[in-house]
Structure 1
Amino acid sequence: MILSGRHSQSLAAEVARELDEPLAPVEFDRFPDGEVMAQIGAVEGDRAVVVASTPTGDAHLELLQLQDAAREAGFEEVVTVLPYMGYARQDRAFEDGEPVSARAVARAISTGADRVVTVDPHEGAVCDFFEPSATAVTAADRLAEPLPDDLTDPLFLSPDAGAIELAETVRSAAGEGEVDYFEKTRRSGSEVEITPSDADVEGRDVVVVDDIIATGSTMSEAVGVLDERGADGVYVTCVHPLLASNAVTKLSRAGVDAIYGTDTIERPVSEVSAAPAIARAVEN
């Protein structure tokens, strides 16, 4: 039985189709004092698979409620799928007095789950915060599917060295092209300096690959640099298209030709689904 979080309804339906399992009836409500409520209807079976991205604080609470409701309904096993794990980027205390937020939310989620699966976490080490450790799967290979078939001498570029494996995954799925990355130095929580790589981009199509686009500031700066250096076309791809506030506008103004993402966060740019990778992990 598949239980869907508020922010993962389309993805949960795809997972249900991949696994050939029914979707549970789920309702979401909010009390007059602002508290949220996630409630499931009549369900049956031995295993509940909760599919719930957590891009907001309320989404985290709804996930915990869905897990608890599954236990109350008598499911023997609860598998929690975090297509997008909120707070995962705070994987260590950057300054004195700060929490390790990824650890805090992982501990809370672990209390209601027998297994946890997450998709392309920003830092793989966050999986170790769960008990037992979460399983990380990748949906990056799906990002090659919506790309044009006639890319010119393509270059797959990651915004930093840490994401180069994602770029390599997309390049392999696309079947041709080179891989390189930008040097990215974080000056503060909101300020990032981008240093261009040595790759020649003039006259080439460039596919920028990252795990998540949040505000779009760093990515739009990268796109602007590529445009200045004569790239023929620039395509932005990411697993998690958070695209907060005016991120799409920033990228469009920078000169991006298209933005493609998966449905770990359901947005208009969610061109491909992470469901196959999730289904394989749940079945293993």
Structure 2
Amino acid sequence: MLLQRSQRVLETIPVGSLGLIPLKSCEELGKKVNDYLVEWRHSNDLEHKSNIAFTGYERDSYLIKAYTPRFGSGEGKGSIKASVRGNDLYLMVDVCNYSLTYNLYNYTNHMSPDDHFQDLKRVIAAIGGKARRITVFMPYLYESRQHKRNSRESLDCALALQELVAMGVENIITFEAHDPRVQNAIPLHGFETVTPAYQLVKGLLNNTPGLQIDSDHMLVISPDEGGMSRAVYLANVLGLDMGMFYKRRDYTRVVNGRNPIVAHEFLGSDIEGKDMIIVDDMISSGESMIEVMKELKSRGANRIFVFCTFALFTNGLAEFDKAYEDGLMTKLFSTNLVYQTPELLSRPYYVDCDMSKYIALLIDTLNHDVSISDLLDPYDRIQALLTRYRNGELHK
């Protein structure tokens, strides 16, 4: 269970001098990651630190500024104001950060995922092949919802991955890819889809004293058939039973690009009086999640906790505010992997689960060319956390 940086033995020679390039969409998260890296490497007693192979190992900052300005016509460019020759570079981009804007013929445009992806490619182009290695951290995988072909449709996510590796990207690390099988598009390159299960469970246990975490008092719920594997994993790790909803859709109509949901049907054991953990990869509009909560409450559920990796809230917060006021939902746990509005962070039901330390550990380990397998599986860490919770060590 080696998660703490102080417990990890990283004495292999780094791939190259570490460079961290968070694009503007990911600046805040990038700064937090940098702070961890600086703190660890300053306090590290590594005996080879003065060796020439470790040149640039200990610095006051690993951040490298990348600029992606726009012309008045909306065209853009990427530039880097520092040498990156021979560096082991880690680029970070949040394709969901719609808060950023640019001018287009005197109009103000909010940046879309397409804009962010183009800026990422511009920065890679500015690197110009001079880096030792390029790894892209893209928490929300670009176009991951368009991962398969149902008719004569584009395969946007697969194309994007192929574009990145063609430009020299060696590894792509994402979180909760909508369908991990999209990595088949780049079988000869590194692709990792990481789960934030530990951080979400930690958020629940740190903010909710008195939980009875057993199958008699708690149930894990998958809101649809697509998230079954996620819910099965969490249920097994926590020692709980699980249930799921499947959506009955009207395939004769298309509304907002999808077939409307007619009803949510439940499969699972009795939920009367039990606490619920609904786990999903994202909340987009949130309509399905609200419907699932209503269905659970109508069946006698006690408290409802929501786990989601990406809290997008594309239709705003009003429906969730009402759900909280009506007692449908107790807490909602999500990560800072995508842009969070100040309004969301101020909500009493919302708990922000910080992922910066975890990302810093992944980057630090990869820079030393050491396996990250133990970091990708949070089972042991969750078990240790549960033991501490049951012993009353988290709420002293």
Matched, 1:109 2:126: no
Q: Specify which of 13, 16, 20 is matched with residue 2 of structure 1.
A: 20
Deviates more, 1:180-189 or 1:77-86: 180-189
Q: Which runs of 5+ in 2 are unaligned?
A: 1-18, 39-60, 97-112, 372-396
Q: Which runs of 5+ in 1 are unaligned?
A: none
Matched, 1:208 2:278: yes
In structure 2, the CA distance between the partners of 1:101 and 1:39, relative to structure 1 (3 Å rule), is same
1:12-91 correspondence runs (5 A)? 12-20=30-38, 22-44=62-84, 46-55=87-96, 56-71=113-128, 74-91=130-147
Question: Aligned AA for 1:200?
Answer: D
Matched, 1:126 2:166: no
* Partner Cα separation in structure 2 for residue 54 and residue 270 of structure 1: 22
Asked if the contact 1:3–1:66 (Cα under 8 Å) also holds between the matched residues in 2, the reply is: no
* CA apart distance, 1:17: 3.9
* Partner Cα separation in structure 2 for residue 26 and residue 144 of structure 1: 35
Whichever of the two has the greater Rg, that structure is: 2
In structure 2, the CA distance between the partners of 1:144 and 1:231, relative to structure 1 (3 Å rule), is same
Q: Deviations over 1:99-154 (max 9, x none)?
A: 11111221222223122111110101112223525222222221112212323522
The residue that corresponds to 1:250 in the other structure is 319
Deviates more, 1:98-107 or 1:22-31: 22-31
- Identity among equivalent positions (%) equals 21
Residue 163 of structure 1 aligns to a residue whose secondary structure is helix
The residue that corresponds to 1:149 in the other structure is 209
More strand by share: 1
Q: Deviations over 1:155-208 (max 9, x none)?
A: 1111123323323444566x4543222223454525234212333222222111
TM-score by length of structure 2 reads 0.64
Question: Aligned AA for 1:145?
Answer: K
Q: Specify which of 155, 161, 164 is matched with residue 225 of structure 2.
A: 161
The residue that corresponds to 2:302 in the other structure is 232
* CA apart distance, 1:85: 0.9
Asked if the contact 2:223–2:246 (Cα under 8 Å) also holds between the matched residues in 1, the reply is: yes
Question: Aligned AA for 2:197?
Answer: A
* Partner Cα separation in structure 2 for residue 270 and residue 17 of structure 1: 22
Question: Aligned AA for 2:321?
Answer: S
* CA apart distance, 1:253: 2.8
The residue that corresponds to 2:287 in the other structure is 217
Deviates more, 1:35-44 or 1:260-269: 35-44
Asked if the contact 1:156–1:206 (Cα under 8 Å) also holds between the matched residues in 2, the reply is: yes
Asked if the contact 2:219–2:242 (Cα under 8 Å) also holds between the matched residues in 1, the reply is: yes
The residue that corresponds to 2:44 in the other structure is none
The residue that corresponds to 1:266 in the other structure is 339
* Partner Cα separation in structure 1 for residue 354 and residue 248 of structure 2: 31
Q: CA RMSD in A?
A: 2.5
Residue 69 of structure 2 aligns to a residue whose secondary structure is strand
* CA apart distance, 1:29: 2.8
Q: Deviations over 1:79-116 (max 9, x none)?
A: 111111121111122122x1111112212222231221
Question: Aligned AA for 1:204?
Answer: K
* Partner Cα separation in structure 2 for residue 194 and residue 214 of structure 1: 17
The residue that corresponds to 1:100 in the other structure is 155
TM-score by length of structure 1 reads 0.87
Q: Deviations over 1:223-242 (max 9, x none)?
A: 11112222221111111222
Residue 145 of structure 1 aligns to a residue whose secondary structure is helix
